[in-house]
Structure 1
């Protein structure tokens, strides 16, 4: 598999790739990486970057240590570091005649439909103007409760929202191994993943890095979003100079293949949610109905978990707690608790008012 088959490519750069152990930006690496991006652009590719590094560079600028920073202080540091980060990008990319823009997103920007559409429009317009958008989480406003916490999942959500063909996660290892390669040199690199099963999840042992917040586990979670959005995903070693060129030359990376063709934009957005508000447990009859393309009705619901409202993203699971679908709930958790197991014709009598007949309408439901 080669990158030349893709038109729209998202590339995520982690802090451990961009920042050295002293907290300084790796200028030589970024200069060579800019050449990679220029080469992609010359081959008519549209490129979006998701870059970490703001907090680390903010700490370096202020002369303070990153470890032990509380949320409020790290938010302040991020606002400083973001300027430093973008200044480096601009100076280096200008030399390669690459125009850039800055986009800061919060979890709400991707989880709320209208805001995600606006984000897509902005990115699409930038790409049409020949600009490379550089995306980061808005650490200044995001709180612990409403943040991604890592740029792997943010990158996958961006890839899903803009209907990217491929997401590249630059890591500090060549890809997904059967065991942690830093601890066991005899481990094997997994070249292709078609389905994320229990073994793949087991292999994704979390690794720590000095400046990054994600490990292999978050990368596999990102791959799940991509697979269900019809998007390829690559985990590759970003520590090389010209890492994108190395993907084509060395082919030493892990490819996650899409499980389905591209869904329509609305269903892509539903399936890509990283912050579902709750879940319902359903019986086998309801599972079969969903598999046949039908809506989820109250009669098939066994149990409700979480505190969610009408219109929220929720998970649909079987009796073994295995996710089988996702969707937008037509009722609140409180309402579903009252009508679960009941025939749709009884909803009005139970609730005391007219409403929809489906817990999740088929147009708002995506099987996984």
Structure 2
């Protein structure tokens, strides 16, 4: 009998890029030391997915727990102590993940402030895109060494949902120490029944989810449902499964889920297009005919060579209109402020750094951040 008994096998939602969240309870032994017992099967799933041409970003807890396993028992009390444990354990955590892969693992430490500030958000986004393009496996954690508020929350479930939107993931996979969502807490209620599919997370679901989970982690099923709500707002579906069930994890690589599927009301692309269409624009970028045709017909990014000029004032990260001098036909997120766009207009991408003294990438508006209106 498997740990996921009771959940019906179903097809995993189709995906090309996913975020896999792994909690502390799956990475620590009963005594608190870091262990790869369950991580090995999860890493095998990542490896098989990459062999199939997919991309996976890992959001991994466990730094504080790993540090606690290295420190003397009396150390680590209080906030400063936990921050020190995070710094101590972070290298062990990354070494654990790197030990499972031949591809390089890239450590990325984020705080919620990095994701609230628009410029830092875009910088993180650009870095993660480049890491994926380089064929690395990004392993993301909160920067617990300095992030006071985030360390108090200790909520990597919600961080994973934010990262999923950040990297334009198609799917958020949450590896739990329980099979999925139940009608009640299965640890205390013998009548609790597994829930295979949730069309939309409701207050009733949140109420039945309870509070914190295991002693090693600080989140429970409630934070996983909160993460699913955030992911759904970006058009990203979430699946919760038992990361301790090797057979369950193995089936994921074959496209089979034994757990809970939490659906999004609209597709990722539809959610992003809706947001771009309805967010107030900060200005306008004017393009030539060639660039207009490339954006309309070929799904291209907007490069500086096709830019004629910029109207109004807008900052890096603002939503802007895009037009050809006669018609506004698109909207997108500008990688450069209005003044910078004017300076690099008509330039080749290799000239950006020389003109500005820095570069945020070759695209003025990346195709993933752009919506073209129907003609």
2:60 is aligned to 51
Counterpart in the other structure of 1:129: 134
1:157, distance to aligned residue in structure 2 (A): 0.4
Q: Cα gap change, 1:166/1:145 in structure 2, threshold over 3 Å: closer, same or farther?
A: closer
In structure 1, distance between residues paired with 2:116 and 2:244: 32
Counterpart in 2 of 1:252?
A: 258
Tell me whether 40-49 or 185-194 shows the greater mean CA deviation: 185-194
How many residues are matched?
266
Q: Distance in 2 between matches of 1:55 and 1:165?
A: 29
Match of 1:84 in 2: 92
Task: Answer yes or no: is the 8 Å Cα contact 2:242–2:249 preserved in 1.
Answer: no
Please show how residues 94-133 of structure 1 align to structure 2 within 5 Å.
97-133=102-138
Q: Give per-residue Cα distances to partners, 1:116-144, cap 9 Å, x unaligned.
A: 11111111111111111000000011013
Q: Distance in 1 between matches of 2:104 and 2:181?
A: 33
1:60 matched to 2:65: no
Q: What CA distance in whole angstroms lies between the structure 2 residues aligned with 1:132 and 1:35?
A: 13
| Matches for 1:4-19 after TM superposition, within 5 Å | 5-19=14-28
Q: 1:250 to 1:22 in 2, by over 3 A?
A: farther
Correspondence for 1:36: 45
Question: 1:186 — aligned with what?
Answer: 191
> Could you tell me how far 1:13 is from its partner in structure 2?
0.4
Residues 1:227 and 1:244: Cα distance change in structure 2 (over 3 Å): same
| CA distance, structure 1, for counterparts of residue 256 and residue 13 of structure 2 | 15
TM-superposed CA distance for 1:163, in Å, is 1.2
* Equivalent position SS for 2:99: helix
The 8 Å contact of residues 56 and 211 in structure 1, kept in 2 or not, is answered as yes
Change (3 A) 1:65 1:188: farther
Answer whether contact 1:35 1:242 (CA < 8 A) is retained: no
Within 1, Cα distance between the matches of 2:107 and 2:15? 23
Could you give the per-residue CA deviations for residues 135-185 of structure 1, whole angstroms, max 9, x where no partner exists?
000001101378652100000000011111000111111111001011123
Whole-angstrom CA distance in 1 between matches of 2:153 and 2:248: 25
Counterpart selection for 1:74 from 75, 82, 93: 82
Instruction: Provide the secondary structure at the position in 2 that maps to 1:92.
Output: coil
Is 2:31 the partner of 1:22? yes
Higher mean displacement: 37-46 or 201-210: 201-210
* Cα distance change, pair 186–146 in 1 and its aligned pair in 2 (3 A): closer
Alpha-carbon separation, structure 1, partners of 2:151 and 2:36: 32
1:213 equivalent to 2:218? Answer yes
- Computed over aligned residues only, the root mean square deviation of the Cα atoms, in angstroms, reads 2.4
TM-score, structure 2 normalization: 0.66
Change (3 A) 1:65 1:33: farther
* Structure 2 residue matching 1:167: 3-state secondary structure: strand
TM-score (norm 1): 0.67
Which is further off, 143-152 or 158-167? 143-152
Contact 1:71 1:144 in 2 (8 A): no
Distance in 2 of aligned mates of 1:250 and 1:108: 36
Deviations 1:215-235, CA, capped at 9 Å, x for gaps: 111111101101110001011
CA contact (8 A) 1:59 1:65 kept: no
| TM-fit CA distance, 1:200 | 1.3
d(CA) in 1 for partners of 2:160, 2:33? 23
The answer to whether the 8 Å contact 1:230/1:260 transfers is yes
